[in-house]
Amino acid sequence: IPHDVWSPSLAQLGYLLHDLGKLKTVGELRRPHYAGVVPHEFATIELLAPHLRWLEQRDLALATALRHLFSYLAAPGKARTTPSHVVAEIVEKLDQLSAASHNRRDLDYLLEGSRRAHAGEPSHRRPTPAAPLHPALRAAG
């Protein structure tokens, strides 16, 4: 982003931290009782709040930019409008691309579907490959 030396760093930091709340909502064996009703984006803001307050005392502009980013991402996707700071949009798009690679919207899936269409085969999703069994489980089974 021309003339904005902080935006690349803000985008990197935002992308690194934007799913931090998943540690509390989907990344634990014992999820808190609120995990099913409180989105991980909200938990991210809660976890980062003391750090944002610390940053605010040192650089109000950077703290404001990060708050804008995380509050934008906390809004449901269909309720989002164009963000005031392009960094929020960049992190949103990177997150969407990352999710696409995990839900069969990556290049491999695209090319496989194209191959099937040209071969006259039905275009249905490939089954997700089973995770390989640990050697101890293979021996027991």
Q: What is the pLDDT along the chain (141 residues), one digit of tens a residue?
A: 668 889 999 999 999 999 888 888 886 577 777 777 788 888 899 999 999 999 999 999 999 999 999 999 988 888 888 988 999 999 999 988 887 766 766 677 777 776 766 666 654 554 555 555 555 555 555
The reported pTM is: 0.66
Residue 32, Ramachandran bin (φ over 0: left; ψ between -120 and 50: alpha; else beta):
beta
pLDDT value at position 15? 92
Domain coordinates of the chain in residue numbers?
A: 7-118
Residue 58, Ramachandran bin (φ over 0: left; ψ between -120 and 50: alpha; else beta):
alpha
Interatomic CA distance for residues 25 and 37, integer angstroms: 9
